Amino acid sequence: MNGKLRAAFLVLLVLASASLSIPLHAVRGAGEGEVDIVAWPGYIERGETDKNYDWVTGFEKETGCKVNVQVAATSDEMVALMNEGNYDLVTASGDASLRLVAGKRVQPVDLSRIPSYAKVDKRLQGAPWYTVDGKSYGVPYQWGPNVLMYNTDVFKEPPKSWSVVFEEQTLPDGKSNKGRVQAYDGPIYIADAALYLSAKKPELGIKDPYSLDEKQYAEVLNVLREQRKLVARYWHDAIVQTDDFVNEGVVASGSWPFQVNLLQSQKKPIASTIPQEGATGWADTTMLGASASHPNCAYLWLEHSLDPKLQGDLAAWFGSVPAVPDACNASELLGKDGCKTNGIDNFDKIRFWRTPETRCADGRGDICIPYRKWVTDYLAVIGGR
């Protein structure tokens, strides 16, 4: 909370609530003293894994709000948990956020109660994956690309194309890629194939990997069905993926910077790149549950989540890019070059996850394939159908 005393902050909140005609119970309601958060692994650290990475303990002491975390490994799991209605906040990626808004599982946030929002990267303020009808349904947390992670013993130079995971071929070590690559275990991965196909077959006219008409979508599914013959595992657990690269002979896959950083810290022959086609990516938003039981603690956490040191420490831990640019100079753990290393200059190369909808984002009308169809079809692909 940037060093503010709890009492001072609560006074500000009470004053704000009075000026906005917000009932006092909305600020200090029954059940306060804790906050329940659904989060990606590694997003809410209290020093249990590494004592250097702890942005929870100080918050709890300063605010009296105990932080309870429910880890979710996929966006679909996050949506399912929020459908239960028992959580105050969720660190949702763009493939979940609009679903949560449409399902009325989250509510708009009052940005006047989050002063640090003004420090958020201007490229993320008002982004379409958490802003609907001019209302913000959360605050940005971290962002990053889905990189191509590869084994440097196999690839002496970075792969130039995503084809190494989508098409059968002989790799630089003279062996086939069959059984040595992975794909992400989530329907949103269809966008990765669409992005690849948009460059390989420009005649298809794919301008937005999340807005695919029937013809484009059918071609993308064909790419994924062919990829199925190559894939050793569809991954969603970051730690399992790192083990596969070390012990199971996997040499290339879409991944997150977290896995790359972890394996490099272990001195493994691992590197990453963004190929010539570009990359999909995630810009995660901390969203406020529609039936949050602890609104005061939730708002305190939303403000705390934008603290530059927290943002920088988290970026160092996860291999992500902070939503607050000031964080690039606020964390010893991240270091002065950390933001550049984690890809802050790659923003324009990334096609950020967004929930696919029937209405095409490129203005073609209601002819695009919605997410519910992505779900059933990707399950069929993984099942070999």
Helix (H) / strand (E) containing 282: strand 279-289
And the tokens for 133? Answer: 């009808």
Residue whose token pair is 């010539």: 276
What range defines the domain where residue 212 resides? 147-255+355-382
Whether residue 297 is contained in a domain is answered as yes
Residues 285 and 138: beta-carbon distance below 8 Å: yes
Based on the fold, state whether residues 20 and 76 are members of the same structural domain: yes
Based on the fold, state whether residues 231 and 370 are members of the same structural domain: yes
Whether residue 140 is contained in a domain is answered as yes
Based on the fold, state whether residues 109 and 186 are members of the same structural domain: no
Cα angle: 211, vertex 212, 213; to 5 degrees: 125
- Helix, strand, coil % over all residues of the chain, rounded to 5: 40, 20, 40
Residues 309 and 331: beta-carbon distance below 8 Å: yes
Identify the pLDDT of residue 28: 40
> CATH number for the domain including 192?
3.40.190
SS3 letters across 68-111: EEEECCCHHHHHHHHHHCCCCEEEECHHHHHHHHHCCCEECCCH
CA atoms of 81 and 70, how far apart (whole Å): 9
Whether residue 49 is contained in a domain is answered as yes
Based on the fold, state whether residues 241 and 375 are members of the same structural domain: yes
Residues 244 and 232: beta-carbon distance below 8 Å: yes
Cα angle: 163, vertex 374, 277; to 5 degrees: 25
Identify the pLDDT of residue 30: 32
Q: Residue ranges of the alpha helices (H) in the chain?
A: 6-19, 24-27, 57-63, 75-84, 94-102, 163-166, 190-200, 214-228, 238-247, 257-265, 295-304, 308-318, 338-341, 371-382
And the tokens for 105? Answer: 């599982």
| Domain total in the chain | 2
Q: Tell if the pTM clears 0.75, that is, is over it.
A: yes
For residue 192, give the nearest of 266, 267, 277, 260 by alpha carbon. Answer: 277
CA atoms of 81 and 66, how far apart (whole Å): 20
Identify the pLDDT of residue 384: 85
Burial class (CB in 10 A: 0-12, 13-18, 19+), 45: buried
Whether residue 269 is contained in a domain is answered as no
Over the chain (385 residues), the average pLDDT of each successive run of 10 is: 36 35 36 89 93 96 96 93 94 94 96 97 95 96 96 98 98 98 96 98 96 98 98 94 98 93 94 95 96 96 98 94 97 94 90 93 92 96 89
Identify the pLDDT of residue 29: 39
Based on the fold, state whether residues 54 and 32 are members of the same structural domain: yes
Whether residue 260 is contained in a domain is answered as no
Based on the fold, state whether residues 26 and 161 are members of the same structural domain: no
Based on the fold, state whether residues 107 and 12 are members of the same structural domain: yes
Based on the fold, state whether residues 162 and 87 are members of the same structural domain: no
